[in-house]
Amino acid sequence: MQDSSQIPKIIPQCFSETTENILSNLEVTRENFWNLDRECANFLNMLVKINNSKRVLEIGTSNGYSGIWILKALEETKGKLTTIEFWEKRQSVARKNFKLCSPNSVVEAKIGSAFIILEDLAQEIENNEREKFDFIFIDANKKEYVKYFSLVDKILAKNGIILADNIISHYEKVKDYVDTLFNRNDYQSQILELGSGMILSRKS
């Protein structure tokens, strides 16, 4: 059996020069902004396309690195990104990056505490003012994942996907979220040893 660390991880440079330049610059500072690594971002982009997702919610925008990869997938699926961040300055950087990398994309950037915004989104869905999401990426406050899930479950469509990051790196903080998912027989979940560890869940 080949030691997997010896196998090169080839993540293609698949976007325009402008986008690749912005992604490369963000990769230099990724430790400061807690961005996904390129391998996880590539996986996220593929999942959105494989699921043909059109209404994607991201909890934890930061400076927009993962959001750019989501938008590139949504260019193909013709979908829209809603993204939540409580740090205004960070999200304004993200908005600029989104415009440069995906000028025709539809982005709803929400500033505020994730749980409060999730409550608003759930209310809008209940009032038939918006449709449920078909893909939700959770990457904000690790201790709150299980709290987010109480609302994420309400706003996620049947056959919808949840991808949550930092599952192995912050296992103690997210354990209740992982346990909740594994105890739900309407969700199928799998932990992936990718980046900081992710859990992929599908609602049936």
Q: Which two tokens stand for residue 53?
A: 């997702």
Select 36 or 146, whichever has its Cβ closest to ligand SAM: 36
Q: How far is the CB of 69 from ligand SAM (least distance, A)?
A: 8
141 near ligand SAM (CB under 6 A): yes
Regarding 22 and contact with ligand SAM (CB under 6 A), the answer is: no
Contact yes or no for 164/36 (Cβ under 8 A): no
- In sequence order, which ranges of the chain are alpha helices (DSSP H)? 17-28, 30-33, 38-50, 65-77, 88-101, 114-126, 145-155, 171-182
Coil vs helix vs strand at 79: coil
Q: How many CB atoms lie within 10 A of CB 124?
A: 13
The token pair at 110 is 């929400």
**34 or 186: whose CB is closer to ligand SAM?**
34
Distances in whole angstroms, Cα of residue 18 to Cα of each of 111, 162, 182:
26, 29, 41
Task: Using the minimum distance from each CB to ligand SAM, give the nearer residue, 21 or 204.
Answer: 21
Q: Which of 25, 46, 52, 87 is the binder for ligand SAM (CB under 6 A)?
A: 87
Amino acid identity for residue 99 in this structure:
K
Nearer to ligand SAM, 49 or 147 (CB): 147
Using rule CB under 6 A, residue 173 touches ligand SAM: no
Amino acid letter, 132: K
Q: Measured between alpha carbons, how far is residue 23 from residues 65, 131, 145 in Å?
A: 7, 31, 27
Interface with ligand SAM: number of residues (CB under 6 A)? 18
- The mark string for 37-76 relative to ligand SAM (x by CB under 6 A, - otherwise) is -----------------------x-x--xx----------
Alpha-carbon distance 143 to 176, whole Å? 9
Could you say whether residue 170 binds ligand SAM (CB under 6 A)?
no
Among residues 27, 51, 86, 93, the one that binds ligand SAM under rule CB under 6 A = 86
Binding site for ligand SAM (CB under 6 A): 34-36, 60, 62, 65-66, 84-87, 90, 113-114, 139-141, 144
